[in-house]
């Protein structure tokens, strides 16, 4: 599990950082497009990980040395960039109607998320007033 979390954090940081070149339809991605890409990609990766036997697959990688883990993280990154057209088509197909302008990974009083991003929902859950209140009063 730890390697999987490290992997999605690694990929997210590279996708968001404009110093890493990512093109889609022969154009560089804007900040909003990078945010969309990282959110839906990590959401889909987490869903596939949780649905299948991802715990078993990534547990094996978790036990190898750091140089090998770095190799796998970089390999994932290289393949995403190399096959960006296919990756983006797959993400659009799996998340119809979720665009850089419409993405909503958080719960709001008047609407639900249109992409289920476990990491966004966990982060939001930790920031809710009742969660914050419990942790603040515990000390």
Per-residue pLDDT tens digits for 3-29: 888 888 899 999 999 998 888 777 888
- The pLDDT assigned to 119 comes to 80
Give CA–CA dist 9/38, Å, rounded. 10
Question: Domain ranges in the chain?
Answer: 2-98
DSSP secondary structure string, 10-69? HHHHHHH-TTS--EETTEEPPHHHHHHHHHHHHHHHHHHHHHTTHHHHHHHHHTS-HHHH
Per-residue pLDDT tens digits for 68-98: 889 999 999 999 999 998 999 999 999 999 9
Residue 127 clears pLDDT 50, i.e. is over it: yes
Mean pLDDT of the chain: 83
Give CA–CA dist 8/77, Å, rounded. 10
% of the chain with per-residue pLDDT over 90 = 37
- The pLDDT assigned to 28 comes to 86
Name the residue among 102, 74, 2, 84 with its Cα closest to residue 41: 84
């Amino acid at each position: 599990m730890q390697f999987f979390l490290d992997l999605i954090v690694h990929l997210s940081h590279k996708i968001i950082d404009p110093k890493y070149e990512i093109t889609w339809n022969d154009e560089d991605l804007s900040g909003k497009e990078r945010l969309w890409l990282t959110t839906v990609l990590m959401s889909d990766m987490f869903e596939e990980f949780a649905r299948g036997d991802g715990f078993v697959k990534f547990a094996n990688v978790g036990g190898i040395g750091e140089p090998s883990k770095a190799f796998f993280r970089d390999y994932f990154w290289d393949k995403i960039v190399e096959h960006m057209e296919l990756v983006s088509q797959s993400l659009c197909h799996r998340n119809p109607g979720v665009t850089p302008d419409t993405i909503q990974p958080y719960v709001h009083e008047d609407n639900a998320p249109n992409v289920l991003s476990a990491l966004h929902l966990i982060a939001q859950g930790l920031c809710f007033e009742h969660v914050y209140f419990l942790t603040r009063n515990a000390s």
